[in-house]
Structure formats: structure tokens, C-alpha cells
Structure 1
Amino acid sequence: MTVTNSGIQYAVQIITKHFGNLVAKVCETLLKSGPLNLGALIRSTALTPQQVKNSLLILVQHNCVQPFTQESKAGLKVQYIAVYDNILHRLRFAKFLAVVAQELGDECKQLVAGLLEHGRLTQQQLMDRADQKSKSDSTEVQDVSAAQENFVRLVNARFVERCPAPEPLLEEPPEQEGPKKPRGKSAKMVQVPETIEQRVLAAARPMEAIRFLITTESETDDPLQKSENNFSSMGVGEKRKFDDLDSEEHGSNDKGVILWRANFEQFIRCLRHKACIESVRARHDDGAAVVLRAVLKATRNQETKVKTDYSGPLKMDAIYEEVMDSEACPSLEQECVRAHLRLLCGAPLVTGEYEDENEDVLYSVDLKKIIELLQNDEVESIVLKRYGKDAYRIFRLLTSQSNAGRFFETDKISEMALVDKKETPKILYKLWKDDYVHMEKLSLTAAKQSQVMVWKVHKSIVWEHVLDEMYHAAYNLVKRYDHEREENKEVTNTPKEKRIGELEKKANRFLAVRKIMASSLLKLDDALMLFHDF
């Protein structure tokens, strides 16, 4: 979906909160203008060259901006593009850490926390940070080999990945000659990402063969590892500087350094899987949720993108084995597992002649349908709270028929949704006025000229409108929280034992408001992910 002005405002507010106004100004310029080179960025922001360079260093270090090289009339030119999704992910760090803690334990969680805090680190810096953390937390010195082992587990689970190329060359997309369009497999081969941001990120992403490759210390002949060992002498808290940014060769001094970062894509994939599992549990039962979790766990590494429509195909034996290994397994029989799979998958994929016991039957869960049902529920709940039960029934009726592209007359809607005929036009007008339904007037040629209003829901348009409203609400919530914190600065700076009388009342009020706002933002972000990330 297109990023709206409200979405940009929300992203800028996040950067302001984390890095200050100067960095936010540079980021806002990139979000609104698209890719810019250093000179254009300096002119657009009216900041000094050093202020822009320092801001870019921070944004690149924390994966919010990606530099890339593009050919122009003047030759190769380094440009910078804001990575919108990574900016939003900054408010999801607590969710990411909870995922790691649940799957791999608290020690792995501490390593990921270091990457989230610093953006990019070498493997040695991660080990040093873990060692410092253990010394400060207890008298026992953490075993270095244990930290190394946890790092390997994180990489194998794809929660940590090598950083992208510092300045990938962005090639021009292939041009289509004439009106002819490729068909079949050739269409997939020449298909390019839709936006320049996607193209840049695809060009910068390391090949899968090295994206999760760990170089061992014993490989001393590897020049990349030697560079990393030299670089690792830098303290964990130090900010890395790139002296050649003046020549727009950002990061070139560190091309031989192996830097690691958190793999946001994998975290979002895990959260998407969790949302699907909980949805299936609510709609069906625990057994269906256990089967879906087993399928997703077994096929997670087969997924090449987050918004995949179907899980990877699996045979019944592989699924049943995964179900049996599950700690949450309620002793499901194989036939019961097969029944749940039919419910989740519809018709299975068959490589041979279909039989219930055929070993060639492959099952693939329709994840897109599960997400669409969740999105329907979310929008319908908004309509229910905002417009009432009658509007909810009308909207649900139109949504259920949206894929068929059918329009309905007002009287037909009243009859099918069981809503009073006098109230139906009023409700439809309210929904139309707020962009929740689409209306068209049809002229009927009869004895008398007349017009009939027909209605339908364009889901893609409504969903984008709902997402924009969520961005606006999240922006206002963050702004309100910052205002409350500023208003209560005196209270928060006062020691707890000295908060008496009026100060104590203010402190209790602020703590209650903060808790409500944090909970509201958490739920709102879940909805944002449902429409933007899932």
C-alpha cells in the first residue's frame, strides 16, 4: 500500500523521539522527496554539510536509510533512500525480543538487544557486549563459547543476518518493447519490484549463500575475517565514522568488515505466523492451531517473502511428525490432523492419483485467506464501534460480496441485512461520506426517467483508508504521550520518596495515563502490521 502523509508524519515522529530534530529533518526530506544525493539533501534541508552527514551516519547505522549508486549524466552518483518499514519497526523492538526469548531463550535475547540498540555490530563486538553485560549483572564471567553458540543459533534461526551492501549499483529496470507482455514463467523471470525502495533493498541484500554465513575464527586467511578482527578492537559504545562520506563513498572503508544486524523480515514473519495461529485457534480450536503451528515451523525457511500467500507444501508424514514433536501437542490422531489440514488448506496439492492415504499428497495452508479474514474482522469492528450494529450488518454484507464485484440496490441491502428501509439510506450515506462504501447512480429508462443508487465495497480502497486512519491515530497518540511527559517532567524528575500531596497525585495520574497510552499504541501497532506488513 502507498505510504500516506499520515504515515510519513508517524515515521518522522518516531525518528524525532529516538534521534532528535536534526536527524528527523533529514529523514523527513528523504521520505517526502524520495532518493537524493548528498548535495541535494543539504540544499533541501538547509542544514550544514556536517549536520547532514552526521544524520546520515546515524540513519544508516540504524538501518533507516540505505545508500545506493545510480548512473547519471555526471557518472556514478551515490544517493540515499529512507527505508520506511525499518523506521516503523523501531517501535516493535519489545515484540521482537519477546519472539527471540520465546523461541531461543533469554541469552539469545540479550544478543539481539545489542543489535537493536546499536543497529549494526561485528560478531566480536557482540561477544564483547555480552561479556560486559554478564560482568555487570553478576560476579560470574560468561563463557565466551556459550555466547558464540547463541550467536550461531540466532543466525541459523535467521533472526540475525549480514548487513546489506553499503552502496549497491542500482540497474535500470528492463524496458518492455511495445504492447507485448511476457507470459507464463518468463513473466516471473523479468518481473521487477514495484518501487525504487524495493529495487534498492533487493540490490543491497546479500546472496542467500552468504547472507547467513558465519566465518569462523580459524579461517585466518580470509581477508574479510582479518578486517573484522582489526575492526573489533573498537569499543561497543563508539560511533563508527566514515571519513570518505565527503566523496559520497559512504561505508567504503568498511567493505571488508562483516557487520551483522537484526533481520526484521524474520521477526515480522514470526509475528505474522503468530497472528495466523491465534486466528485459527479463535475460529476453530486448539487442535487446528497446533497443526498450523507445526506446518509453519517446518516450512518457515522456505518462505522467500513475508507476504507469502501459501505455506510451503508438505507431505502428511512430515506434518504429523512435527505435530508429535510439539510441546503443545494434545495427542492428535493422524486422521484428526488430516481433517484439520483439509479445513486449513481446502483441496490439497496432489502429485499423483489422489487417495486419502497417498504419500504424494502435499498440503499447503492458505495464509492469505487467514490474513484477509483478520483484516475483515478489524474493519468490521471499527464500523461496529463507530456506526452501530445496523451499519455493521450492512458493511459485512457488502464486504462478503466485494470479490464478486456486485453492486446492490438500497432496498435489496435493507432486505438482506435486515435493516429498516428508512434507516438504510441514512446509514449508507454516512458510510459513503466517510469512504467506507462506494456509490454509483444508475439511470433507468422507463415510462418515467429515474435514478437508482447502488452500493458496494472496494476493499483495496477502504483498507488503504483504514490504514491511513491508523497512522493518524498512532501519530496523535505518540504526540500526546510526548506532551504528557513534558507536562509532568517536574514529577518524573522528583524522587519517589519526595512525591507527596499534589505531586503524588500528578505522578499517579501520569503513570496511569502512560500505561493506557502504551497499551493502546501496542494494540494499534498490531492492527498496523496486519494491514501494512502482513
Structure 2
Amino acid sequence: MLTRHGIKYAVHLITTHFGDLVAKVCECLLRRGPLTLQATVRFTELTSSQVKNCLLVLIQHNCVQAFVLEQSVEHGDAAKATTQYVALYDNIFHRWRFPKFLTIVSQKLDKQCVDLLEALLQHGRLTLKQMSDRAKSSQNEGDDAILDAVQEAMIKLLNARFVERCPASEPVLTNPTKQELSARKRAAKYAKILEEQETLEQRVVEAAAPPEALRFLLLTQTEPAAEGKDETSSPIVAPGEKRKHDALESGTEYGATDEPVVLWRANFEEFIRRLRHKACIENVKTRLDDGAVTVLKAMLEATRSTEKKVKTENSVPLSLSSIYEEVIKSEDGRNITFDRVRASLIQLSCPPFVIAANESYSIDFKKIIEMAQNEEVESIVLKRYGKDAYRMFRLLSNSSHLLETDKIADAAFVEKKETPKILYKLWKDDYLQMEKLQVTGAKRLTQFLLWKVNKKLLREHVLDEMFHASLNLSQRVAFELEQEQELLNIPRDKRLSRLRKVRLLLESSQMKLDDAIMLFHDF
């Protein structure tokens, strides 16, 4: 879901991190969609060399993905293949979340792992040799000790799925022929449920993704490749084993013989999944007791590795006994009895945070996130329009049909003179939808105004407002930082201290706003 202000915010982030030229190329791809090199040169009015360099920077930092599009032709002609570039706007937004990602790793793993992830976030993509060389420059230990430490940290990050292999450099996509398109349309015409078609970006990302068997696999070589011995493939290798100095780069990119080394990057998907789980826990914590929250945490931990996509609606079903086994693994759950776990699951089933069926239980992610989204929107309405507007908006949000103005006034206990004014204000700001109903009576024509909340359109509108607010905050933070830098050249005073406090407050506000953006955009 890429909104108008979402594009502006993404371009601002790229400008801040990489400069105006790179941002210009990125903005062109965001606004126009996938483009060839020649088309990008034409639209940006930059030189071919400039565009190439900008694309390389964006690819290095996982903000653009190249792919080959094969155009299917008829009558037995050879397929036409063109290399195109698509902007990965989700990854662009993730750049602001790097401190959150580092915090997650620091809570789970040691400092060596945090330093390794920080290097990957800073440079986008690195080989294992580059990571070890970077560690050598900052430490005084011997080469073997550093290599062992880097490899051990890498194994921990891979086992936790915080790091993954980089995607294929240019996956091949094929456009369907006219016959295939017409066949799909005929099949969809009679289908009971029409699924949304995948966007080209989703197709490219899925085609480029490494196979699951290799995605988190670290290839190592414990002995010289002599007498026909091949390298071993294992994510678990004991540090200190005999190896060649160049054995860190012994693997090849999955199936790509032209790439002699393996590139690694941070696995944004896993970090967003963990942040989503955290948001679910926080939302449930406001409604239920600590026992129910502990059970939910255990279910999340037990199903984490089985989630295929971040935005999955339900978790994998778990039996009561398997949930209890996971509960007692945690420090908070050791005093919880089997019956208490069952009682907590009943609590979680109403409201339906957990779905019970055939003696098994699964988490209803969609319901939890929707409730959190509704609360966020209602909070905005309360702060911006007042208590009367909040009561009317909540009434309409919970209603499944259109409501007339007077009925809204009666149900929300708002004066009938004020009700139309408030409703018009909400409608003007795109928080409500209005329909006019004309009824012909015996003597005159009567018009009624009917109101409703279109949650899908409203969430898109609220998300765009959040992107707008985040853009304004980012620009204000940049201004305050510039002011602070200017004052560093003069003697210290109270003004400098105040500017730093203002900047920290703005950055904190932006972090909280980003939590709300993830709720509507990433979860």
C-alpha cells in the first residue's frame, strides 16, 4: 500500500541517507513502477553512468531489485528479455527501523552479533570475508580468533533467522501469453472467491528469494579440498577447527556459477515478524491478565518458525499439551498449572484472539491487528475532533449498515443541532462516507443523509496521514540537527542543551509514530 505521502517519505529517507541523485532515481521507480535502464535515464534526465551508479547503490542497500522480464511472443518467435528495476518501498521504510532491529538482537544475542548486524545494516550486503576484515580493523586479536568469533556470531544470527542470503541478482519472470490471460479470466469469472492478483513487486521478490534449504545455510570448509573432498554445508561449526584462510568464501550463490562468493544481508522479514508479535502482545496485555499474556507469548514462540509470511492471518494450530510444554519453558510460566493454561485459552477465545477447533488452538493475528488499528483510529478521532465525534465515529465503526443523522444523534447522546456539523467535518476529512437518500412523499420530496465508515479506505487515508506526519517530523529533526551543529562552533550555552532535548523528543515521537505506521502498513 504505497500512498502519496508514503512516496514522499520514502524519497526523503533515501535523500537523507544517499543524496539527491540516488533519491531522484529511486523516486522515478517509485512513481512510475519497474523501468529499464534506458527508460530510467530518459525519465530522470541523468547520464547513463549516473543512473547505473545510483542503481548499484540502491541494490547494494536492498532498496531496488533487478529482474529479467521475458515477453512471451506467438508464432514460435524467440522470447524477448529485458532487464528491469523495481523499487522495494518496504525495505526503504525499514531503514528508519534499524535501531529497533539492533535492540531486538541485543536482547537475544551477544555484542559480537550486534556488531555484525550493525555492519550489515550499514553496508547493505557483505561477504563473510568482508565482515571478518571489518572485525580485524577494530580488534587486536589474532586472525584465527577473529575468524572464529565472526563465524560463531554468524551462526547465531542465522539460527535466529536475523540474517539471510541475498536474493538472486536477476531472477527471470515471464509474462503470460494472451491465451493464458484469457484462460485465467474465464476461470476467475466462475470462481466463488476472487483472490487479489500478486503485484509485480511481490512476484519479483518471490522469484529472487533463495531456496529455504539454502537461505540460512552457512557453507564452511573444515579441511583443505584435497583428494576429491568437497566443502561441507552446515550451519553449526565448532570455532577453532582447521580451515583455509579463504574458506569463509567457499560457497557459491545458489545455482549461480558466475558469483564466486555468498552475500549476506539482514532478514527484514524476521524483524518485522517479531515486532508484529510484540504489538499483538501489547494489545492483548491491555485487555487480559498476565496469565493469558504468558500463554499467548508461548504460542507465538512455538509457531514462529512455521510462519511462512509476516501477514499470515492465523498461526499453525497447537494442541493444549504442546502449548503447556512451551509455557513452562519461560520463567513467567513455570508456576502456571495445566488447568490455568486451559483457562487462559478460554479467556483468549473471547474476544477471539485465539481460535479453538478440534482440541487445537491457533492465534487470530488478523483480529488482534484489526482491533489495534480500530483503537488507533478512534484515538485520532478523539484527540482531533472531541468526545462527541468519538462516540459517533465508534457507533458507525461498529455498525454494519448505514445510519441516519438523527439516529446517530440519539444513539450517541449528542445534540441534534451539533450532530450534522460534526458528521460533515468527519466526512470532509475522509473519516466517514455519506450517501443521500431521497424519499418522495404525498406533498414534498424529503432528503435523508446516511453515514457509514469504510474501514478499508479509512485505513489507507490514516496511513497516508501518518506518512505525512512522519515526513514533517523527519524534516524538523534534520533542521534541529543542523541548528545543533552550527552551535557546536560557539561556546556551550543553554540553547544548545535545549536543542538537543528538542531533537531527542522529536526522534522519540517519530519512533512511536513508526509503530503506528507498521500497524497499518507492515502487519
Q: Normalising to structure 1: TM-score of the pair?
A: 0.86
- Residues of 1 paired with 2:257 and 2:471: CA distance? 38
1:512 aligns with 2:501: yes
Q: 1:55 to 1:430 in 2, by over 3 A?
A: same
- Residues of 1 paired with 2:465 and 2:270: CA distance? 27
1:215 paired residue number: 219
* Alignment counterpart, residue 175 of structure 1, candidates 181, 199, 206: 181
- Judge conservation of contact 2:355–2:364 (CA < 8 Å) in 1: no
1:409 paired residue number: 404
Q: Residue 163 of structure 1 aligns to which amino acid in structure 2?
A: C
Shift of 1:349: 4.6
- Judge conservation of contact 2:128–2:248 (CA < 8 Å) in 1: no
Q: Residue 298 of structure 1 aligns to which amino acid in structure 2?
A: A
- Residues of 2 paired with 1:377 and 1:38: CA distance? 45
Q: Residue 530 of structure 1 aligns to which amino acid in structure 2?
A: L
1:57 paired residue number: 56
* Alignment counterpart, residue 110 of structure 2, candidates 105, 108, 111: 105
Q: Return 121-130 or 150-159, whichever deviates more.
A: 121-130
Over residues 405-430 of structure 1, what are the superposed CA-to-partner deviations in whole Å (9 max), with x where a residue is unaligned? x0011111111112122211111111
- Residues of 2 paired with 1:222 and 1:46: CA distance? 50
- Judge conservation of contact 1:314–1:362 (CA < 8 Å) in 2: yes
1:499 paired residue number: 491
1:373 paired residue number: 371
2:238 paired residue number: none
Q: Residue 158 of structure 2 aligns to which amino acid in structure 1?
A: V
- Residues of 1 paired with 2:375 and 2:360: CA distance? 30
Q: Return 475-484 or 380-389, whichever deviates more.
A: 475-484
Q: Return 97-106 or 168-177, whichever deviates more.
A: 168-177
Q: How does 1:443-458 map to 2 (within 5 A)?
A: 443-447=438-442, 448-458=444-454
Over residues 326-349 of structure 1, what are the superposed CA-to-partner deviations in whole Å (9 max), with x where a residue is unaligned? 123262221221122233244755
Q: 1:62 to 1:396 in 2, by over 3 A?
A: same
Shift of 1:261: 0.5
- Judge conservation of contact 2:484–2:500 (CA < 8 Å) in 1: no
Q: How does 1:338-357 map to 2 (within 5 A)?
A: 338-345=342-349, 346=352, 348-351=355-358
1:80 paired residue number: 85
Shift of 1:379: 0.5
Q: How does 1:28-427 map to 2 (within 5 A)?
A: 28-72=27-71, 75-135=80-140, 144-173=147-176, 175-177=181-183, 178-181=185-188, 194-218=198-222, 220=225, 229=246, 255-329=259-333, 331-345=335-349, 346=352, 348-351=355-358, 361-401=359-399, 404=400, 406-427=401-422
Q: Residue 3 of structure 2 aligns to which amino acid in structure 1?
A: T
- Judge conservation of contact 1:42–1:48 (CA < 8 Å) in 2: yes
2:517 paired residue number: 528
1:23 paired residue number: 22
Shift of 1:176: 4.8
Q: 1:283 to 1:10 in 2, by over 3 A?
A: same
- Residues of 1 paired with 2:148 and 2:193: CA distance? 48
Q: Return 471-480 or 428-437, whichever deviates more.
A: 471-480
- Judge conservation of contact 1:131–1:141 (CA < 8 Å) in 2: no
Q: 1:54 to 1:499 in 2, by over 3 A?
A: same
Shift of 1:5: 1.9
SS of residue matched to 1:325: coil
Q: Residue 89 of structure 1 aligns to which amino acid in structure 2?
A: H
1:239 paired residue number: none
Shift of 1:151: 1.2
- Judge conservation of contact 2:404–2:450 (CA < 8 Å) in 1: yes
Q: 1:124 to 1:50 in 2, by over 3 A?
A: same
Q: Return 140-149 or 295-304, whichever deviates more.
A: 140-149
- Judge conservation of contact 2:69–2:82 (CA < 8 Å) in 1: yes
Over residues 271-308 of structure 1, what are the superposed CA-to-partner deviations in whole Å (9 max), with x where a residue is unaligned? 00001011111111221111111101110111111111
Q: Percent identity?
A: 53
- Judge conservation of contact 1:66–1:81 (CA < 8 Å) in 2: yes
Structure 2: runs of 5 or more not aligned:
74-78, 234-242, 251-255
Stretches of 4+ moved more than 6 A in 1?
Answer: 138-141, 223-226
Shift of 1:378: 0.6
Q: Return 151-160 or 335-344, whichever deviates more.
A: 335-344
* Alignment counterpart, residue 481 of structure 1, candidates 477, 481, 487: 477
SS of residue matched to 2:219: coil
- Judge conservation of contact 2:3–2:460 (CA < 8 Å) in 1: no
Over residues 480-511 of structure 1, what are the superposed CA-to-partner deviations in whole Å (9 max), with x where a residue is unaligned? 2222333443213x2xxx624xxx23312321
1:236 paired residue number: none
Q: Return 145-154 or 86-95, whichever deviates more.
A: 145-154
- Residues of 2 paired with 1:373 and 1:384: CA distance? 16
- Residues of 1 paired with 2:519 and 2:384: CA distance? 20
SS of residue matched to 1:71: strand
Over residues 106-165 of structure 1, what are the superposed CA-to-partner deviations in whole Å (9 max), with x where a residue is unaligned? 322111111101111112322333344443xx9999554343222112112111111000
Shift of 1:445: 2.8
- Residues of 1 paired with 2:31 and 2:231: CA distance? 40
- Residues of 2 paired with 1:168 and 1:49: CA distance? 23
Q: 1:142 to 1:376 in 2, by over 3 A?
A: farther
Q: Residue 282 of structure 1 aligns to which amino acid in structure 2?
A: T
Shift of 1:52: 1.2
Q: Return 453-462 or 407-416, whichever deviates more.
A: 407-416
- Judge conservation of contact 2:221–2:248 (CA < 8 Å) in 1: no
Shift of 1:254: 5.7
